[in-house]
Amino acid sequence: MKTVLRTTAMAAVVSVAAFGTAQAQDLTVVSWGGAYTASQQKAYHDPYMKMNPGVNIINDDSAAEGLAKLRAQVESGNVTWDLVDMVASSAITACDEGLAMEIDPDEWLAPAPDGTPASKDFFAGTLTPGGTNCFIPQIVYSTTFGYRTDMLDNKPTSIADVFDLEKFPGKRSLEKNVANGNLEWALIADGVPADQVYEVLSTPEGVDRAFAKLDTIKDHVVWWTKGAQPPQLLADGEVVMASAYNGRLFSAIAEKDQPIAMMWDYQVFDLDGWVVPVGTKNLEAVKEYLHFATDTQRLADQAKYISYGPARYSSAPLVGKHADLGIDMKPHMPTDPANAKTTLNLDYVWWADHREELNERFNAWLAQ
């Protein structure tokens, strides 16, 4: 028996060595930069490269322009990316346009430790938010608001406070890349119930109403285009409140000890995950990487470095303490009950259908 085990182990070592030699290559992985890419580096990339010395993962921080750049690469027939991090609504568009590969989750992805197939272990509906398997979710995150605790006489507690310049004077910061989030918040601040937001936004009058509300603060907004910017704007005192990804705010508050606090009212829940570009030249290597990087333990490991919730049922119980700070990460997740008293679930499919027209309207409004 010992001889059989020893022989099997030696064969495995030879196999791994052969893979490392035969498959020596670069994988270009596109993500969002900053604290988020750092969490991926520690949880996925570094462990994988250690296990596979012949693989070199190259980070590209172009995810904010990922859909447009991927479209250009596929249309030109010159695909240089191997894996792209996208929000769910962008992934739906990429899938619909034939830019992202369809995947079989139970063939490509690892089952849960108890044997539950991947198709049943990722949060319900997240693998197929648009009806076709082109998207592999990694995290549930939210866009919410941070504010300077030392620059405001009053503590903002609601989305309406973002639009109240009299009670909360000073500059705000909102995302410039996309209309989603901004339009929903404007309507909620204007009195529209959260469960009616997309019904209202589906009408010309509702869109006009959202932009009219945004008009009330437009002259007091500093617009951001990359996730690292709003925490920095807050830290520098250039704005008193800013929309930002919850993980970026966590980093500024818990890791950098900035005088910033979070306001969770109507945080916008969203999904973020992987798409595989049609035309990638390293498909088999990408599959090997994804099998590892999206397994139960790796998604739980990412939560050691940033306050985003893993998108697998089996990962959630494994979320523990921050790797460096030693603090319990569960209360810092957007899904924690204390933080999720009021939430808005981004309607990925609705935005996939309306993104182009509303972003065009939004950009025209910005230019006025």
Residue 167: which CATH number? Answer: 3.40.190.10
| Whole-number Cα distances in Å, 337 to 171, 195, 250 | 30, 19, 17
| Whole-number Cα distances in Å, 267 to 143, 206, 271, 312, 366 | 6, 21, 13, 21, 23
Looking at the 3D structure of the chain, how many domains does it have? 2
The helix-helix angle for 348-367 and 88-96 (nearest 10°) equals 100
- Mean pLDDT for 6-32 is 56
Q: Give CA–CA dist 44/301, Å, rounded.
A: 8
Q: Residue 275: enclosing H or E segment and its boundaries?
A: strand 260-275
Do 78 and 164 belong to one domain? no
pLDDT of residue 21: 40
Do 92 and 65 belong to one domain? yes
Contact 334, 144 (CB under 8 A): yes
Do 149 and 89 belong to one domain? no
Do 291 and 257 belong to one domain? no
pLDDT digits (tens, 9 = 90+) for 340-362: 899 998 898 899 889 899 999 99
Do 130 and 86 belong to one domain? yes
Backbone torsions φ then ψ of 16, nearest 5 degrees: -60, -45
Contact 174, 230 (CB under 8 A): no
The yes-or-no verdict on residue 16 having pLDDT over 50 is no
Q: Give CA–CA dist 62/72, Å, rounded.
A: 13
- Mean pLDDT for 68-73 is 96
Contact 177, 225 (CB under 8 A): yes
- Mean pLDDT for 120-138 is 82
Do 67 and 123 belong to one domain? yes
Do 219 and 363 belong to one domain? yes
pLDDT digits (tens, 9 = 90+) for 272-316: 999 999 999 999 999 999 999 999 999 999 999 999 999 999 998
Single pTM value for the model: 0.78
Confidence bin at 129 (pLDDT 50/70/90): low
* Domain limits for position 54: 2-140+272-331
The yes-or-no verdict on residue 1 having pLDDT over 80 is no
